Structure formats: C-alpha cells, structure tokens
Chains A and B, each alone.
Chain A
C-alpha cells in the first residue's frame, strides 16, 4: 500500500483529538446546546400541532367547507380569535357545552371576519381526535352552545375565523384562521337551576301567603271582598231568562282543559248551572273541545243533582260543535239568531271570535256577562257586553259566588301577593331612578 503525503484536512482532524470513553468540556456544551435546540424545536412543533394559529400556515381549510375556485389574496386572512373557553353549560340537563371566545381583532364593520366556525373533536387518548364542525356564528358573535354532546365524553373545541367572498351564492375564495384549542371539557346535568332561585322565592312566598290566609279564613274570620258587578248580576241574568221563557247560553271559551281559563270557566259554569236548575231554566252549553264537553257535562249534571233537580238535566244541554275557531263562532251565531236567548255567558279564553259572538248576542237582545284573561279581547267584551270580568276577576269568580271561606282566603292571599308586587315595582322605580340596577336584575329569569 502506497502512502500518501499528509494534506491540510489531516492536519484539521489531528487538531481535535478524540479521546474514547470520555468527553471534553467543549463537547458537553455542544451536546447541551444541541439538546436545547432539539427540545425547543420539538416543543415548537408540538405546540404548532395543537393549533397555534400563528404557526399554522394560513389558508389551511380545516372546516368542512365546499371547495372554492380561487385562492384568497394574502391580505384577506383575518387574525385568529385571541382566546377560547369551553365549559359545561350550567343549569341544564347535560349534553351542552358553552363555547365562548374573544372576537378576532379583525372583526369589525367592514373587517375581515364574516363568520366563525366552531369545531369540535372528541378526546382520544387525552388528545383531540378528528375535528368536525358543530356550528357557526355571524361576525360579532362571541358565544355558541354546542347542544349535542354526550355526558360521558371529553371534548376539545376551537374557533375558526372565516373571511370569504360570496358571488351568486357561491364562495369564490375563503380565508381562515384557527384559534387555540380549548379543553378537554365534559358536559353534565345539574339538579337545580340556579337561575330560578328568584322564582322559587316568589312561588314560596306566594304559596305561603295563600296558605296563611286560607288557614285564617277557616278559623271563621270574616273577609271583605269588594263587589264584582258582573257576578252580582248572575242571578238577575238567569232570572231574566226565566221570566222571558228563553234559554241561557254558556260559552266556556275555545281552549282545552289544559288552560286555566277554561277550568275557571267550568267552575263558574257549576255555579250558574245551580241557579239555572233552581229556576228551571234551560241552560245550553255548546263547546269547542271534546274533553271540555265531557267535563262540562259532569259539572252541569252534578250541579243539577246538588239542588235536587237531577231529572231536569238533559244530555243534550252540553254538546260539541267543532274545534275550528270560526266554525264554532258561526255555529253559535246561527243558534243565537234563531233562538234569541235571553242571557249569554262568555267565560274562558277567547280570541278573534269574541266580538263576533258578543255583537251577535247584542243584536239578539240578550243580557251578556263575559269574563276572560285574554287582554286583547277585553276591549271587545267591554264594548259589546253588559258586564265584563277583567282578567283575575274571572279566577276570583268561583270564590266570590260560592262564598266558601277557604276560597275567599285564597283570594285574600292573592291580593297580598299583588300588594308585594306593587311594593317591588315602587321600590324598583326608585332604585332604578337612583341608578341602582341590581334590584331589577333579581327579577329576571335566565341568562
């Protein structure tokens, strides 16, 4: 083997002698720097893979969006939202997560943000799995509720700010910017809705007042109830029908048994039926709902039995017409114009047919007593009827007519409740005028 002349490279190699089995100080520092460099790069890449928007190349379309036929101009890309928070939606039955975010700095009138897309990924091994879109919001929005989660799973969320150019209903280009990932978060159900504490306080207070006054009434204490003209006139109205030998019509409204006004109307029907049975006057009750027919029949039958006139009751007194609002009104109008009843009662929930019925009754010459808790119909009844029970007077009628102490006591409790409401309103006016707004927020329910 021929030897060669030593070169300058050989000299460079010889200048750094390698001592096997140990390291020099220089090598340690180099190693340290290398390790530091590798760790830094690794962390940087890891953070980038957790969707740091700045590290992501712009224009990555992670949303499930339809393809566009142009690429967005470079200055179209919005800045991402600075922060995203995901938390279990409170006061619900689970299955919901509230996602809130700060607006993108480019979210302003004429800015670069048109919409926000909210993305969700289920946790897989503690890390976000596949991302899917769960909702979108217009520019300016800062929250969205994902109502489609399962309580036994963890989720991650991120918000994508979207800028796009829409022409003829299609997106020409789209520029997006992703936020940081928020999570993991898990939804769960709550056992008490904290937003309704004030309602609980109000209900408890009102029921306590009712209970107190009912108890007080049962003890024999006399209670003053002001006169209600419409109810005072019931006997007179029934008597008029008896004298004229004509019918009484009782219309219990057009709502079904799930409406409190209908129940109040049927309660009054019982009292009116007792008076009609006593006077031996024909009471006709055309109804709009089948279940109301069944209940009204029982009420009238019992009323007749109570006054000792079960033989005077006829099955056909209470009959069904139709569920349709105007069909019902037309049928009653026809019957009223043909039979010309002497007395008409309208007690229950009414809508547009209220004036049709009451004007026809007026044209037929009947004395009319109405009662409804539908505020829009009260003016029509007041204009067309002789007596009108306004709002809560309808619910007070049962107690008023029966004069039973327990029922009268509940009226008193209701009035006390109204007094408390008045005090609260006055207090609210004063405090709001002085700028103390927390008082009124106590009465709001919900977010």
Chain B
C-alpha cells in the first residue's frame, strides 16, 4: 500500500468515526462508554503497538512523525470513552490555593479575574468552575472581572454551569448581591494599578451596564483593601505576573493563581517568594482543585486522556532515543 493510500485511509477512517459520533449526539443516542475490561484491553493494545514500533526501530525501520501524530490523536480521544478511574494526588501548591479559600468566612469578598480566552478554556475553565462552586457553596461573595476581552464571557459560561448545579440552584443566589460580573476593561496592568485606588474608576458599570453604585455587592468596595482574597485565572499577558507585580507587591492583595501548564513554570519564583498563596497549574492542577472543592468537572474526566497522552509521549521519546543510538551505531559501522 502506498503512502498516499495510507494517508487517505487514515483520514477517511477518522472522518467516518467523527461523523458517526456527531450523528449519535445529534439524534440523542447515549454516549459510548467502554466497560472497564474493554478499556483495559484498548490500553493494552496501544501499549503492544508501541512495543511493536520499538522493535521495528531496533531493526532500523524508523517511524515518521505522522505516526506520532496518529498516536497522540488516539491518546486524547479514546480515553474519553473509557471508564477507568484514577486516584488524584494533591500537590502542595494546589493545596495552598484551597487552604486560602478555606480560611475565608461566609460573606468574604473574593475577586476572580478571568484573564484568558477560548483556546485556554480546556485547562482553565474547569478550575474557574470549581472556584465559583466553592465560593457559592460557602457563601463567599464573588466579584468577577477580566483583563482579556473574552474573559468575562468565559466567566458567564462558568457561572451558567455552576448556577445550574442542583446544590447551588437551591441557594437562589442573586446577581448583584451574591456575585457580579464587572466585565472587561482595556489597559492591561494599568487597570490593576487604578483598581488599587478605586475600582469604580475602571468599572463604572458592570457587564450588563448597571452603574457601579447601584450594585449592592460592590457599593462599599473601594479598592483592593476591601477584598479578602483574589484568584487570578490567566494564560498569558496580562495575567498573573502583572497581578503579582502590582496588586500583591504594591497593595498587599492576597492572591492565588490558576494558569496553563506552560505558564505555571514561570510562576514558581513568585510562589517560592510567598507572593502567591498557591498555583493551580494546568489540567492536572484543575483536577486536583476539583477533588478538593468536590466539584465534578471536566478536568477529572480528561485526566485519563492526559495520562495516556503523557505515556505515549514518553514512549516515543524512548523510541526516538533508540532510533538515535541505532542510527549512530549504524553510521559508526559504515565509517
């Protein structure tokens, strides 16, 4: 079979599978879930196929990068149908964020900044939902804002999901009294700076256009000194770094951070310096945070996919090194 034929075959199979699952969803068919035995069988097959690739590599027949892409695609999609559960181990930095929330008493004011857009939503939306759920469950007052234009829209999506949860819907929370969405404000770190003096100067009205003075929750909030805790969910600039440099350093705001896995590495210096109460990093951090807050969210569901994907990347790194050493040995023999 020629390479072109193989390519067309793979694309056709993947497209057919997507079509089948999409039509199932459209016609309301129940979701496909593999029983535990089948799940283990699927994982075993993937493992055996990787072993086969390794053997081929040892024999000098290397795989091309498109095979790597195919395996990554399998790694992130198939686990969504599996029913294997995993034990979540909570990292100290995630515990730090949660402990800060735990210390707050009912009625405390929590400022949540949504500084991300849809591409980062798979990692950050679950931690946002878990945060909002915990706040509403424990009668904490939530003030939402965003330094990214799409941030408040992501916040509305998270609010919609959390408020529809049966445990929260019973509380009959009121917009403007228990939570408020102040919306987006342009200006990046200058917004944070001005909020240090006066929130109202940056948010004269909320996301719906209601004047600041007419919102009961924020009427008495002048600046950061009236905020008991802040949780920043960010994926770039402006984000956690700007909040630390301005709100924490200059105004003494207590801050926890939720970041994408890539950005988390940059935040550890601030965590070690005590400028951050904790970091919820990436989807694994979000899963740990969901575990602590007892919110059943997407991060926990997607952790199996992440586990399998990590194992596949590690496998291909090993295979790649085997290919490197085999190739070097072959070249040495030839020379």
| Interface residues, chain A, with chain B CB atoms under 8 Å away | 95-96, 114-115, 133-139, 143-148, 166, 168-169, 255, 325-326, 351-352, 363, 375-376, 445-447
Contacts and interface: CB of A to CB of B under 8 A. Distances in A.
Given A134-B222, A147-B198, A147-B223, A351 B236 contact: yes
A351 B266 CA distance: 12
Given A169-B139, A376-B262, A114 B105 contact: yes
A366 B114 CA distance: 38
Nearest to B188: A258
Given A135-B220, A138-B104, A166-B106, A352 B262 contact: yes
Nearest to B108: A138
Nearest to A141: B228
B107 A135 contact: no
Contacts of A446: 249-250
A2 B221 CA distance: 83
Interface residues of B, number: 33
A376 B222 contact: no
B220 A136 contact: yes
Nearest to A354: B262
B225 A139 contact: no
Contact of B171 (A136, A169, A447): A169
11 contacts: A96-B197, A134-B222, A135-B225, A137-B226, A137-B228, A138-B108, A147-B223, A148-B198, A166-B107, A325-B119, A351-B237
A114 to B, nearest CB: 6
B223 A145 contact: yes
Interface string B133-155: 00000010000000000000000
Contacts of A143: 225
Most central of B65, B107, B196 by chain A CB within 10 Å: B107
B263 interface: yes
Interface string B201-231: 0000000000000000000111101101000
Nearest to B196: A147
A326 B139 CA distance: 39
Given A351-B236, A352-B236, A376-B262, A169 B249 contact: no
Contacts of A145: 223, 225
Q: Ordered nearest first, which 4 A-B pairs have the shortest CB separation?
A: A145-B225, A446-B249, A135-B226, A147-B223
Contacts of B119: 325-326, 352
A189 to B, nearest CB: 13
A144 B106 CA distance: 19
A203 B213 CA distance: 43
Nearest to A144: B225
Contacts of A95: 197
Most central of B104, B177, B220 by chain A CB within 10 Å: B220
Contacts of B222: 134-135, 146-148
A139 B235 CA distance: 33
A115 B107 contact: yes
B178 interface: yes
B86 interface: no
A144 B198 CA distance: 14
Interface in B245-273: 249-250, 252, 260, 262-263, 265-266
A148 B219 CA distance: 13
A5 B226 CA distance: 81
A146 B237 CA distance: 30
Contact of B265 (A135, A138, A376, A445): A376
Nearest to A255: B237
A445 B249 contact: yes
Given A138-B105, A139-B105, A446-B249, A169 B178 contact: yes
A351 B105 CA distance: 38
A225 to B, nearest CB: 29
A362 B250 CA distance: 44
A136 to B, nearest CB: 7
Contacts of B105: 114-115, 138-139
A352 B116 CA distance: 12
Nearest to A166: B106
A226 to B, nearest CB: 27
Given A352-B260, A375-B265, 11 more contacts: A114-B105, A134-B220, A139-B105, A147-B197, A147-B223, A148-B222, A166-B106, A169-B173, A169-B177, A255-B237, A351-B236
B274 to A, nearest CB: 11
A77 to B, nearest CB: 18
A208 to B, nearest CB: 26
B81 to A, nearest CB: 28
Contacts of B223: 145, 147
Nearest to A259: B237
Contacts of A96: 197
A139 B173 CA distance: 24
Contact of A447 (B65, B106, B236, B252): B252
A325 to B, nearest CB: 8
Contacts of A169: 139, 171, 173, 177-178
Contact of B266 (A134, A168, A376): A376
B51 to A, nearest CB: 26
Given A147-B198, A446-B250, A138 B225 contact: no
Nearest to B117: A325
A357 to B, nearest CB: 15
A255 B236 CA distance: 12
Contacts of B171: 168-169
